[in-house]
Amino acid sequence: MPAAPPSIPRHIAIIMDGNGRWAKARGLARIKGHEEGANAVRACVEACGELKVEFLTLYAFSAENWRRPKGEVFALMRLLEKFLKEKTPELQEKNVRLQAIGRLTDLPASCQRQLHESIESTARNDGLTLVLALSYGARLEIIDGIHSLLRELEGGHIDKAMIDVKMFSKHLYTRYYPDPDLLIRTSGEMRLSNFLLWQLSYTEMYVTPKLWPDFRKEDLFAAVEEFRQRQRRYGGV
Ligand code: FPP
């Protein structure tokens, strides 16, 4: 895969927030906001493809989202399955490779089946990698990473002295991806909400008051434009 042009982020992560408020403002059920939010994903994938961004990670369902009312959780799972079923041919056409991170076995069986089918059928694409964070929580990811590291240690495959940042990163769900360069959060909230806590250490943040269902290609371009003006120092001068 050719490298992205300089100063275009290689990896963009997005906290898609504000679906509920978008629906409420229109007197609609919350799920309508999620449905409109699923449509906004399409524009975003297209924009990333045009910019030659290599990885796009979307926070689609957090480990904490299971606490929402049963009806909303059910509707979100159905929406996810429908989205995957309907959009996989389009992902193919756009040369997008789909992947997922999180405790995927928590998802309903039919959703898991569709997810694996979509991942499998796009596995040979070499354009944008679209990563869906599903039943994802960063603290759980770190705990899972520690367990994985301990298994290697107890199996005698590694020595304690070998444990460093690089090695630990290889035990996270995100081991195949570079850390995000740019994090976008919609709806004006200034929180990380348990998203990629390890990986976002040096990521540039961009928060927009726009609600996710209103997020368009131009909004992604504006975020990237602002990113290009930033000076990244990684703790140096
Ligand atoms: C946050 O809005 C959004 C979510 C919890 C789910 C995100 C899901 C989608 C964008 C649609 C499905 C996505 C895919 C990839 C098919 P919120 O409900 O917390 O909004 P609020 O803070 O205004 O209540």
**Which DSSP string corresponds to 149-170?**
HHHHHHTTSS-GGG--HHHHHT
Q: Is 60 in the pocket of ligand 1 (CB under 6 A)?
A: yes
**Structure confidence at residue 231 (pLDDT):** 83
- Which tokens in the block code for residue 184? 């976008």
DSSP 237: -
Q: Which atom of ligand 1 is nearest to the CA of 76?
A: 12
pLDDT at 232: 79
The predicted pLDDT at position 5 comes to 55
Q: Is 210 in the pocket of ligand 1 (CB under 6 A)?
A: no
What is the best residue among 14, 15, 17, 42 to mutate for testing ligand 1's pocket, by most ligand atoms within 8 Å of CB?
17
Where b means 16+ CB within 10 Å and e means fewer, 155-171 reads eeeeeeeeeeeeebbeb
Q: What is the mean pLDDT of each run of 10 residues along the chain (237 residues)?
A: 72 98 98 97 97 98 98 97 98 98 98 98 98 98 98 95 97 98 98 98 98 98 96 82
Say how far apart CA 57 and CA 16 lie, in whole Å. 10
Measure 83 CA to ligand 1 centroid, in angstroms: 13
pTM of the model: 0.95
* Helical packing angle, 70-93 and 30-51, nearest 10°: 30
Q: And the tokens for 171?
A: 């035990």
Total residues found in the chain within this entry: 237
Superfamily of domain 11-137+181-228: Decaprenyl diphosphate synthase-like (3.40.1180.10)
Distances (CA, A) of 174 to 5, 151, 166, 171: 23, 18, 12, 8
pLDDT at 1: 56
Which mutation among 16, 66, 134 tests ligand 1's pocket best, with the greatest number of atoms within 8 A of CB?
16
Residues 6+ apart with CB under 8 A from 106: 63, 66, 135
Tokens 């100063």 sit on residue: 7
Ligand 1 closest atom vs CA 41: 15
Q: Is 65 a known active-site residue?
A: yes
Q: Take atom 5 of ligand 1 and give the residue whose Cα is closest.
A: 61
Q: Is the Cβ atom of 132 under 6 angstroms away from ligand 1? A: yes
Closest CA to 36 of 56, 14, 21, 55: 21
pLDDT of residue 4: 54
